[in-house]
Amino acid sequence: MELLEGFWEDSDNAAKIQREKSILSKSVDIYNSMMNKKEDFETLYEFCMDGDDDSLAEAISTFEELEKSLQEAQKQVLLSEETDPNNAIISINAGAGGTESCDWASMLHRMFIKWAESKGFKLTQFDLQAGDSAGIKSTTFSVEGDFAYGLLKSETGIHRLVRISPFDSNARRHTSFASVFVSPEIDDSIEIEVLDKDIRIDVYRSGGAGGQSVNTTDSAVRITHHPSGIVVTCQNERSQLQNKETAMKVLKSRLYEKAMEEKRAEQAEVEANKKEIGWGSQIRSYVLHPYKMVKDHRTNCESGNAEKVLDGDLDDFMQSYLQWRASEV
């Protein structure tokens, strides 16, 4: 009982431990479920071998359930990096192309929201810059849930859309690009030093559609980190202090991911083959015309149901990415 004294007084530490307990419990549950299904299948298999045809359908069903449990267990093994269990911070930026690219950035934003909602994850919007005519120029938001970063890290890169433009009166085919950057939300257990001399903090009035949605004070915050060139903004809160704290959290997460990416590249000595996040080096293409297909260019994972993918069905792409990444190490 002495170990529990004062446990709940430190709410942040208690929440962290509770989350770790939840993740470990889930792993134990997956293992127990897998072993139970294995025993059930072995018993049903013996019945079938003894000529009990009535057990065949149940044996097949149990085997299929066992396969799903094995896939879930494999995913847990692949999500073994230090920050994989963390929440994720996602930034989306429209590429060149005006309204077309802004609309595509908005479609990606919706896709990730749909995926997160299907997992029961919590979303918090930090910043959103609307397009001049439609869509969004950029947005930053967090996805909170177990292994959110470990799963969503597959989405970092350039996403390419090919479709008949709804904004083109001549109904011509257009190609649009948007960049996605995913970083892990980090806590106080990971030290990221940000020197005052390395940053510039600007405050400005939040934008919006007008009326009550527009702030009348300079509460929005933009932080520029000069050594890395990273710029983050937050205008979600009405308090300038809250926006500054959130923006700093996003900056530290971006800096951590940048440092980890550099470390991974150095350790694997793959800098020469590493694709930069730049136009023309897309990781995934979404084709809506003249045929419908979504293809990941790293893993060759494909789906002929583009609408379903854009509605948040990303699990196959994420699983394929985790397997591909493990094979590359």
pLDDT on residue 208: 52
Report the C-alpha gap between 140 and 204 in whole angstroms.
17
User: Is residue 271 predicted with pLDDT exceeding 50?
Assistant: no
Q: Are 218 and 240 in contact (CB under 8 A)?
A: yes
CA angle, corner 148, sides to 147 and 154, nearest 5?
Answer: 105
| Nearest alpha carbon to residue 182 among 274, 83, 315 | 83
pTM over 0.85: no
| Nearest alpha carbon to residue 59 among 49, 74, 68 | 49
Q: Are 197 and 188 in contact (CB under 8 A)?
A: no
Q: Are 136 and 105 in contact (CB under 8 A)?
A: yes
pLDDT on residue 2: 52
Token code pair at residue 178: 């948007």
pLDDT on residue 272: 41
User: Is residue 169 predicted with pLDDT exceeding 80?
Assistant: no
257 or 104, which is more confident? 104
Domain-wise residue ranges, the chain: 10-78, 92-268+280-328
| Nearest alpha carbon to residue 97 among 57, 68, 129, 137 | 137
User: Is residue 215 predicted with pLDDT exceeding 70?
Assistant: no
pLDDT on residue 220: 92
Residue-averaged pLDDT of the chain: 85
User: Is residue 137 predicted with pLDDT exceeding 80?
Assistant: yes
Tell me 195's DSSP state: -
Coil/strand/helix, residue 130: strand
Q: Are 125 and 137 in contact (CB under 8 A)?
A: no
Average pLDDT of span 45-74: 84
Average pLDDT of span 63-72: 83
Does the domain at 92-268+280-328 match CATH 3.40.640.10? Answer given as no
